[in-house]
Amino acid sequence: MLRRFELFPLLALLALSSSLVFADQVTLKNGDRLTGTVVKSDGKTLILHTDAVGDVTIKFDAIQELKTDQELHVSMKGGKTAVGPVTATDGKIEIATKTGGTVEAAKDDVTLIRNDAEQTAYDKSLHPGLTHGWNGGANVGFSLARGNSQTENLAVAFNATHPTLNDKITLYAGSIYTKSDTPPPPTVSANLEQGGLRYDRNLNPKLFAFGAADFQANALQFLDLRAVYTGGFGYHAIASDATTLNFLGGINFTHETYSNGPLIAPGVFASYGVTNKFAALTLGEELLHKLGKSTVVTQNFYFYPDLSDTSQYRGTFNLGTVTKISKSFGWQNQFGDIYVSNPPTGAKKNDVVITTGLNYSFTH
Q: Are residues 75 and 187 in the same domain?
A: no
Provide Rg for the chain, Cα atoms. 29
Domain boundary at 69, 104, 126, which?
126
Q: Are residues 78 and 139 in the same domain?
A: no
Q: What is the CATH number of the domain that holds 192?
A: 2.40.160.40
Could you read off the pLDDT of 4-56 as tens digits, one per residue?
Answer: 445 445 444 444 444 444 589 999 989 899 999 999 998 889 999 998 888 99
The mean per-residue pLDDT over the stretch 148-155 comes to: 70
Domain boundary at 126, 144, 161, which?
126
Torsional class of 124: left (φ above 0), alpha (ψ -120 to 50), beta (otherwise): alpha
Q: Are residues 92 and 232 in the same domain?
A: no
In a domain, 9, yes or no: no
Measured CA to CA in angstroms, residue 29 lies from 23, 47, 60, 70, 90 at distances of 20, 17, 11, 23, 11
User: Where does the pLDDT of residue 160 fall: very low under 50, low under 70, confident under 90, or very high at 90 and above?
Assistant: very high
Q: Are residues 45 and 189 in the same domain?
A: no
- Which of 78-82, 91-95, 154-158, 231-235: highest mean pLDDT? 231-235
Q: In sequence order, what are the residues at sequence separation of 6 or more whose Cβ sits closer than 8 angstroms to the Cβ of residue 62?
A: 28, 29, 30
Find out whether 159 and 135 touch, Cβ atoms under 8 Å: no
Domain boundary at 92, 126, 160, which?
126
Q: What is the count of structural domains for the chain?
A: 2
Output the pTM of the full model: 0.67
Its domain, for residue 69, covers 15-126
Q: Are residues 231 and 352 in the same domain?
A: yes
User: Where does the pLDDT of residue 261 fall: very low under 50, low under 70, confident under 90, or very high at 90 and above?
Assistant: confident
